Amino acid sequence: MLVAVVAATLMTAFLLRVLSTHAWDPMAFVLRTPPDLPAGQTWGVGYDGRFAFAIAANPWGSTADLDQPELRYQRILYPLAVKVLSLGNPKIVPWMLVAVNLGASFVAAAALAYLLARRGVSPWLALVLILSLGFLLALRMDLLEPMALALSLWAWYALENRRLALGAVLLALGALAKEIAIVFTLSWVLAAWFGGRRRAALGVLVAAVLPFAAWLLAVRAWFGSSAEMLAKTHLGWVPFAGLRFLADSVSRGVVMIWVIAPAILFGYLAARDLVRGLREPRSADAWLVIGSASLISLLPQPSWVDPLAIIRFGLGLVAGVLLWSATYRPRLLPLATGLWALSGLLLFVIPRMV
């Protein structure tokens, strides 16, 4: 619990720093599209947090502020939670977006700390995830990852304690926050299946995926499915083929160092460990690394246009590597710590971010 308190304190200090440099305006976290944006300009157009804000402020209203309503409503949990906690007051929504993600930071740190301590390593390593560039970006821009990770990590904890129903519910909620939770679901299901717990694997799979699938069908019936939506959700076949779509060498370098190289290295080592111990009780940790690395390698082309999106997709890999290293390769923990714990400092060199 102390680790989570420290994590929340650090994140509060970070948020206060951002507020103090933006006239204490919580809308600074939303990054909306400027009203005077020139036609045809593709930079400085805002970021995804503005869609969460639009849905939370008016979930059943106009979709004019949403680029792809079917995709934005697919990830409904975060804006819906903000809407409920704001008690219908639109003035509270910007503050509640920040507060909910701050609470998710506390929950994610607590869950990861418990999991790491159970594996016999320092729970303070949970701060590696919280201080990583991807997590700070998500917090800075009112994004979906903190809630999805918090729910997924607590589901991991519940499943390890044989609380299958609770774990499945948390995974289902995580998928409604963002699809990275599905990687956690499939990783645990595969580990349970090959470990001989096939009934448990099928039960968790159905219970965790069915609500997401039902909501997905409802959203498709409501909004339809555009060609752009299909392009954004269709996984590729050639690993890391989208790297060529990153616009500049700096973006490619950042993504290569903090996402692609770790995905290749740790994914390979986790696969070797999995082959040697497919039935190990904690083989789910290795599956999580492999699943996260595979997702990154096969991301659809539109995701590669934005380096920040790739970095955020890497958050599941960060959590997975910490858990897997603690179980299989403790000597890699200093490497993972050095790689990701200080990466958040990059945020301080991006103009107007902090």
Is the pLDDT reported for residue 299 higher than 90? Answer: no
Q: What is the reported pLDDT for 156?
A: 97
Does the structure show a pLDDT above 80 at 348?
yes
348 vs 354: CA distance, rounded Å: 6
Return the higher-pLDDT residue of 39 and 14: 14
Angstrom distance (rounded) from CA 238 to CA 113 = 35
Confidence of residue 33 (pLDDT cuts 50, 70, 90): low
Q: What average pLDDT is seen over the chain?
A: 89
pLDDT for 159-180, tens place per residue?
A: 999 999 999 999 999 999 999 9
Asked which of 5-9, 27-31, 211-215, 304-308 is least confident by mean pLDDT, the reply is: 304-308
| CB within 8 Å of 214: residues ≥ 6 apart | none
- C-alpha 121: how far from its chain's center? 23
Which residue, among 31, 248, 247, has the nearest Cα to 143 in the 3D structure?
31
At residue 273, does pLDDT exceed 60? yes
Higher pLDDT, 203 or 309: 203
Determine the average pLDDT of the residues in 224-228: 64
Residue 46 pLDDT more than 80?
no
Average the pLDDT over 150-160 and give the result. Answer: 97
Average pLDDT over residues 42-63: 77
Looking at residue 233, its pLDDT comes to 59
pLDDT of residue 40: 42
Question: What integer is the mean pLDDT of 80-92?
Answer: 93
pLDDT tens digits along 331-340: 999 999 999 9
Which residues touch 308 (CB under 8 Å, ≥6 apart)? 47, 137
The average pLDDT across 295-314 equals: 87
SS (H, E, C) the chain: CHHHHHHHHHHHHHHHHHHHCCCCCHHHHCCCCCCCCCCCCCCCCCCCHHHHHHHHHCCCCCCCCCCCHHHHHHCCHHHHHHHHHCCCCCCCHHHHHHHHHHHHHHHHHHHHHHHHHHCCCCHHHHHHHHCCHHHHHHHHCCCCHHHHHHHHHHHHHHHHCCCHHHHHHHHHHHHHHCCHHHHHHHHHHHHHHHCCCHHHHHHHHHHHHHHHHHHHHHHHHHHCCCHHHHHHHCCCCCCCHHHHHCCCHHHHHHHHHHHHHHHHHHHHHHHHHHHHCCCCCCHHHHHHHHHHHHHHHCCCHHHHCCHHHHHHHCHHHHHHHHHHHHHHCHHHHHHHHHHHCCHHHHHHHCCCCC
Q: Give per-residue pLDDT as tens, 69-84.
A: 898 999 999 999 999 9
pLDDT at residue 140, as a whole number: 95
Identify which has the larger pLDDT, 16 or 235. 16
For position 314, what pLDDT does the model report?
95
Does 98 score more than 80 pLDDT?
Answer: yes
pLDDT above 90 for 281: no
Provide the pLDDT for residue 301: 78
Smallest CA-to-CA distance from 97 within 48, 62, 134, 60 is with 48
Query: Quick one: average pLDDT of 282-311?
Result: 89
- What's residue 236's pLDDT? 62
Could you tell me the residue ranges of all domains in the chain? 13-31+45-349
What tokens appear for 96 in the block?
A: 């509640």
pLDDT at 223: 83
Residue 245: pLDDT band (50, 70, 90) is confident
